[in-house]
């Protein structure tokens, strides 16, 4: 399927999903949970552009980078806690508009907005995967030194990859204040966002655009069910157990496992 056709087909799928869910689901919690799962699709897809396609895992390219990544989050949280202008440790309340820009409740509007953002991020990731940019990023992932020796502009491609990843991350997080209506440093710099953004592509598969989508839907749905039935405190435990299981059973994720079985059947 060509890129233009994929954008059109994926738009129709997203539009149909929006119409069905907005038309047939009346429970507000469905939209609360759906927003979270869709947000994780955006975040995991954004991370996968840099971590999966390029091979530069934000969570730690080397020990020093990993320490610096975690330290930066702690430093930023400490800075915000002591900044009275933004509320400090008290946090800040966000007042939603009385009426949503579209029909329905405000949470339904946020769900619709996040569905659009998820469609855009997935379509962008798939476009990158099938483009010359994607080939260059894959070359960097396989062997950066060899790619640079072969004429691939590694620095420029890494900058493009980092910019796209960061932009999509910011896009996915922008509606969050209107979703929770209250922000404090502990929740804003919660490591669960970073952990889930990495774990979901790892579980789904990092070499394809569909991997982060599968991982986000699977892991996000399990976490939402655990939050309702047991406790949200188990979410990171669930992530850890699933990561261990997939590292043992399917180190290349669900997509890699399916592809390996297909190749085995063709032999």
Residue 93 CB neighbours (<10 A): 11
Distance CA 54, CA 103 (A): 41
Q: For residue 100, what pLDDT is reported? A: 78
Backbone angles phi, psi at 147, to 5 degrees: -65, -45
The half-sphere exposure of 122 on its side-chain side, counting CA atoms within 13 A, is: 25
Check: CB of residue 101 under 8 Å from CB of residue 107: no
Residue 61 structure tokens: 């390219």
DSSP category for residue 174:
T
Single out the residue of 243, 193, 253, 255 nearest to residue 43, CA to CA.
193
The residue to which tokens 């399927």 are assigned: 1
CA-atom Rg of the chain in angstroms: 19
Q: For residue 60, what pLDDT is reported? A: 45
Strands (E), 69-109: 92-93
Q: For residue 257, what pLDDT is reported? A: 84
Q: For residue 113, what pLDDT is reported? A: 93
pTM greater than 0.85: yes
Instruction: Tell me the mean pLDDT per 10 residues along the chain, length 267.
Output: 87 93 87 93 92 71 56 78 75 79 85 94 93 90 86 90 92 88 76 82 88 92 84 78 84 84 79
Q: For residue 124, what pLDDT is reported? A: 94
Helices (H), 98-207: 106-129, 132-142, 144-149, 154-173, 176-180, 185-188, 191-204
Q: For residue 64, what pLDDT is reported? A: 54
Which residues, in sequence order, are bridge partners of residue 107?
none
Distance CA 254, CA 48 (A): 15
Would you give the distance in Å from CA 30 to the centre of its chain? 20
The residue to which tokens 């610096």 are assigned: 68
Q: For residue 57, what pLDDT is reported? A: 63
Single out the residue of 54, 5, 11 nearest to residue 161, CA to CA.
54
Q: For residue 70, what pLDDT is reported? A: 64
């Amino acid at each position: 399927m060509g890129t233009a056709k994929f954008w059109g087909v994926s738009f129709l799928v997203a539009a149909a999903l929006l119409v069905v869910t907005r038309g047939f689901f009346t429970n507000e919690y469905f939209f609360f949970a759906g927003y979270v799962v869709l947000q994780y699709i955006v975040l995991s897809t954004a991370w996968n552009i840099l971590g999966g396609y390029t091979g530069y895992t934000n969570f730690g390219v080397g020990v020093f980078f990993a320490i610096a990544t975690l330290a930066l989050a702690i430093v930023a949280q400490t800075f915000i806690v002591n900044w009275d202008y933004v509320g400090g440790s008290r946090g800040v309340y966000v007042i939603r508009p009385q009426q949503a820009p579209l029909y329905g409740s405000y949470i339904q509007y946020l769900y619709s907005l996040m569905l659009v953002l998820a469609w855009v991020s997935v379509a962008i990731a798939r476009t990158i995967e099938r483009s010359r940019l994607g080939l260059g990023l894959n070359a960097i992932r396989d062997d950066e030194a060899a790619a640079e020796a072969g004429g691939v502009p590694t620095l420029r491609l890494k900058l493009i990859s980092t910019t796209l990843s960061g932009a999509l991350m910011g896009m996915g997080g922008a509606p969050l204040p209107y979703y929770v209506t209250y922000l404090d440093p502990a929740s804003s710099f919660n490591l669960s966002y970073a952990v889930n953004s990495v774990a979901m592509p790892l579980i789904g598969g990092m070499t394809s655009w569909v991997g982060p989508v599968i991982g986000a839907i699977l892991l996000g749905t399990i976490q939402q069910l655990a939050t309702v039935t047991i406790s949200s405190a188990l979410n990171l435990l669930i992530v850890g157990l699933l990561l261990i299981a997939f590292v043992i059973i399917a180190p290349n994720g669900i997509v890699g496992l399916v592809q390996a079985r297909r190749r085995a059947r063709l032999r």
